[in-house]
Amino acid sequence: MNLPNMQEARLRTDALVEVIEAKNIKSDRFKNKKYFIRTYGCQMNVHDSEEIKGILENLGFKETLEVQDADLVVLNTCAIRENAHDKVFGFLGRLKHLKKDKPDLIICVGGCMPQEESVANLLKEKYPFVNIVFGTHNINDLGTLILEESKKQLIEVYSIEGNVYEHMDYVRDSKFTAWVNIMYGCDKFCTYCIVPFTRGKQRSRKMAEIIKEVEKLKEEGYLEVTLLGQNVNAYGKDLDSDYDFATLLENVAKTGIKRVRFVTSHPWDFTDEMINVIAGFENIMPYIHLPLQSGSSKILKLMGRRYTQEEYIALYNKIKSKIKNVSITTDIIVGFPNETDEDFAETLKVVNECKFDGAFTFIYSPREGTPASKIKDTIPLEVKEQRLYKLNELINSYSLEHNKKYIGKTEEVLVLGPSEKGEDKVYGYTKTMKLVNVSNAKDDIGKLILVYITDAKSFSLDGEKVIFAKN
């Protein structure tokens, strides 16, 4: 067993990364068997689960959405917040009972949590009914581990970063929109973040491989790709090449795929070239997620974010002025250690100035092993909750203000599926990533249609499909 060591992870910045052809092991040993997968956390995990599904289906498994029908269960875990841990351990309790009735059930726990040494040890000591434990760096080995599985618990978690695997078989969740990983890991080491430890140092894929993947997706009928990475605009910095994220984005746009998105950007790496490319291509969507985290320069420094309040606002204004109709969302953490009322007021000040289209807001939660977890946290939970409440009220008011401007306009929407807002409705997204519930479009799933916006709420729009009269 090879477990992560936080100090080692920091030092191993020049470990050799190889590009390797994925194993894609095929077998019919598990023909007629079913798997159930539960994914926690970010888009990166969602896409990892598409890879895991590809591995399982190559072994003969078919997916079931009912855990009690499964012969194999995979929990693809997240380490970003404490409550993500709690959810996984809660679900494992349920699986323990299920295994009493189904002793041959194979339980696998993978993803970010086992990359933490304490979690891997806990699974070994307290959860012996878990058959296979794997990490983020060896997802590609899951097929081999399942074929090797015996009654003994198998733990295989690598602290060293994984290689970059190409040509993997994915089972994608959508037939119209696809995630495309452009890089793995992150070198930023924001002081609160566990990602550089659980996902390792930055490893970019070669541009030619990414373009090939996008071209294939386009041929298969996909209308939208989202380029995925922890810090996409640092793409290429680890490669011995002269291309960067702006070059990649331009080349992806030139494939002619209808819609190109990317997530997530770090303000530090946001270049003028990127802004020009986004502004210059119709098929690069005018939507940017630009994490702020805090509006206080003092807190930003403690977070290791490498920009000040003034620099963030200047970048925000530059993007707004150069990219037509762009919508910008953000992430904000409240209650970071040492955040005073004045620091929080600075965050509100930035929100009032930027008037974001939306935000993911969180109360700070220390992650073991990160530098920030060593800073004494003296802010009472009640104060943190009050700050979060106040922030959300402000954010929601600006979201509503932005959304109301869409009423009476006609927007292009990519329809993705049935809406939760009524049987006669479908849902989809505008170019600016606004969720729209659409009437009269039940036959348009998987299509780009024009929608007349009739109403707006803080988190969504309502609209009707525009039907052109025949002459």
Residue 352 CB, nearest approach to ligand SF4 (Å): 24
Cβ atoms 434, 416 nearer than 8 A: no
Binding status of residue 333 toward ligand SF4 by CB under 6 A:
no
Nearer Cβ to ligand SF4, position 258 or 301? 301
Print the binding letters for residues 248-267 with ligand SF4: x by CB under 6 A, - otherwise.
------------------x-
DSSP 8-state class, residue 76: E
Give the binding range for ligand SF4 (CB under 6 A) out of 20-28, 186-194, 270-278, 415-423.
186-194
Position 133: which residue type?
V
Least distance (Å) from ligand SF4 to the CB of residue 102? 38
Query: Which of 74, 61, 68 is CA-nearest to residue 34?
Result: 61
Q: Give the number of residues in contact with ligand SF4, rule: CB under 6 A.
A: 10
* 58 sits in which H/E element: helix 43-58
Per-residue mark of binding to ligand SF4, 261-300 (x: CB under 6 A): -----x----------------------------------
Dihedral of CA 61/66/72/75: which sign?
A: positive
Residue 431 in contact with ligand SF4, rule: CB under 6 A: no
* Segment lying near ligand SF4 (by CB under 6 A), choices 23-31, 139-147, 190-198, 397-405: 190-198
Stretch that binds ligand SF4, among 85-93, 188-196, 360-368, 448-456 (CB under 6 A): 188-196
Q: Would you say 33 or 188 has its CB closer to ligand SF4?
A: 188
Residue number with CB closer to ligand SF4 (62 or 374): 374
Q: Does 334 bind ligand SF4 (CB under 6 A)?
A: no
Q: CB within 8 A of 159, min separation 6: which ones? A: 2, 3, 4, 5, 8, 9, 115, 137
Centre a 10 Å sphere on the Cβ of residue 70 and count the other Cβ atoms it contains: 23
- Of 193-201, 221-229, 251-259, 335-343, the segment contacting ligand SF4 by CB under 6 A is 193-201
Q: Among 23, 188, 212, 421, which residue interacts with ligand SF4 (rule: CB under 6 A)?
A: 188
Asked if 193 touches ligand SF4 (CB under 6 A), the answer is yes
Residue 340 contacts residue 295 (beta carbons within 8 Å): no
Chain centroid to Cα 287, Å, comes to: 16
Q: 182 or 186: whose CB is closer to ligand SF4?
A: 186
* Range in contact with ligand SF4 (rule: CB under 6 A) among 118-126, 191-199, 416-424, 449-457: 191-199
Is 362 an interacting residue with respect to ligand SF4 (CB under 6 A)? Answer: no
Rounded CA gap, 30 and 152, in Å? 19
183: nearest Cα among 370, 44, 64: 44
Q: Should residue 196 be labelled a site residue for ligand SF4 when binding is judged by CB under 6 A?
A: yes
Query: Both tokens of residue 264?
Result: 């997530």
> Please, which residue, 230 or 255, has the CB nearer to ligand SF4?
230
What whole-number distance in Å separates Cα of residue 467 and Cα of residue 315? 40
User: 416: how many CB neighbours lie within 10 A of its CB?
Assistant: 18
Please give the backbone phi and psi of residue 355, each rounded to the nearest 5 degrees, phi first. 50, 60
Interface residue with ligand SF4, options 45, 49, 231, 432 (CB under 6 A): 231
Q: What minimum distance in Å lies between the beta carbon of 176 and ligand SF4? A: 28
Nearest-angstrom CA–CA distance, 61 and 414: 31
Nearer to ligand SF4, 190 or 249 (CB): 190
Does residue 190 touch ligand SF4 according to CB under 6 A?
yes
Q: How many CA atoms lie within 13 A of 112 on its CB side?
A: 29
Which lies closer to ligand SF4 via its Cβ, residue 105 or residue 350?
350
Does residue 230 belong to the site contacting ligand SF4 (CB under 6 A)?
A: yes
Structure tokens at 414: 């990519």
Q: In this complex, which beta carbon is closest to ligand SF4, that of residue 370 or of residue 430?
A: 370
Return the DSSP state at 293: B
Identify the sign of the CA torsion 193, 195, 196, 198. positive
Selected binder of ligand SF4 within 79, 105, 145, 186 (CB under 6 A): 186
Distance of alpha carbon 129 from alpha carbon 110, whole angstroms? 15
Could you tell me the smallest distance in angstroms from the CB atom of residue 191 to ligand SF4? 9
Strands (DSSP E) along 118-252, which ranges?
132-134, 154-156, 164-166, 177-181, 183-184, 203-204, 224-228
Residues forming contacts to ligand SF4 in the complex (CB under 6 A) are: 186, 188-190, 193, 195-196, 230-231, 266
